[in-house]
Amino acid sequence: MATAHHEDDQIENFFIRLLRGSGLSGLSSMSTKTDYNNRLKIIKPFLYLKKSDLKYVTLKYFKTYIKDPSNKDEKFLRVRVRKYRRDMEREGLDTRKIIKTVDNLDSANQALNFYKKKSLHKHTSFLSKNRCSINKKIFFEEASEIIFKSFSDILSLVSGTYYPPRSKKNCKFDY
């Protein structure tokens, strides 16, 4: 499945997640490819194109495009974020800098995911679709972020949900 998410959506998503207090995974924002499940892959081929570029192409080839009336309704956070962005651009926080930040966060997130996978391979065994055995050494051999990411994945896999738990609000690994 392909979506028409574009660079402006990526930036809005970043700021919405920043306002919610998201961690590294959330701030890494959208990726160009996502495996939703074994049967569904989602691609976002336009993440590095501006909305104005997509609008231009759509008008040139299809002679029309769909206007979403909710794009002007300020009850939606994404609409308010667009207004904040204009103010931030006047202060020097332009699209290029925001995208660079998202790319840097994504790179760091990929590195953490690499070590999380190694940790899961080393410390866990899936006994069935919804049962997992976890070696307690994980708490002594891994950094707290790797532990948190590992347990998030385990909970998603065991519960059968796509999205991991949203927050580590009350989660502390003091041992």
Residue 2 lies in a domain: no
Domain boundaries, position 145? 7-159
Residue 174 lies in a domain: no
Residue 168 lies in a domain: no
Tens of pLDDT along the chain (175 residues)? 999 899 999 999 999 999 999 888 889 878 888 887 778 899 999 998 999 999 999 999 999 988 889 989 999 999 999 999 989 999 999 989 999 999 999 999 999 999 999 999 999 998 887 888 999 999 999 999 999 999 988 988 888 776 666 665 555 555 4
Residue 173 lies in a domain: no
- pLDDT on residue 163: 67
Cα(154)–Cα(109) distance, integer angstroms: 18
Predicted TM-score of the model (pTM): 0.77
Cα(142)–Cα(118) distance, integer angstroms: 10
- pLDDT on residue 168: 58
- pLDDT on residue 166: 63
Residue 78 lies in a domain: yes
Residue 18 lies in a domain: yes
- pLDDT on residue 146: 95
Which residues sit opposite 41 in a β-bridge?
35
Would you say the C-alpha torsion 117, 121, 123, 129 has a positive or negative sign?
Answer: positive
- pLDDT on residue 113: 93
Residue 108 lies in a domain: yes
Residue 164 lies in a domain: no
- pLDDT on residue 37: 76
Which SS3 state, helix, strand or coil, does residue 123 take? helix
How many independent structural domains does the chain possess? Answer: 1
Asked whether 77 and 19 are in contact (CB, 8 A), the reply is yes
- Name 3's Cβ contacts closer than 8 Å, sequence gap at least 6: 42, 43, 44
CATH of the domain at 68: 3.40.50.620
CB-based contacts of 21-29 (< 8 A; 24+ apart in sequence): 21/167, 23/167, 23/168, 24/105, 24/108, 24/109, 24/112, 24/145, 25/109, 25/149, 25/164, 27/102, 27/105, 28/102, 28/105, 28/106, 28/108, 28/109, 29/102, 29/105, 29/106
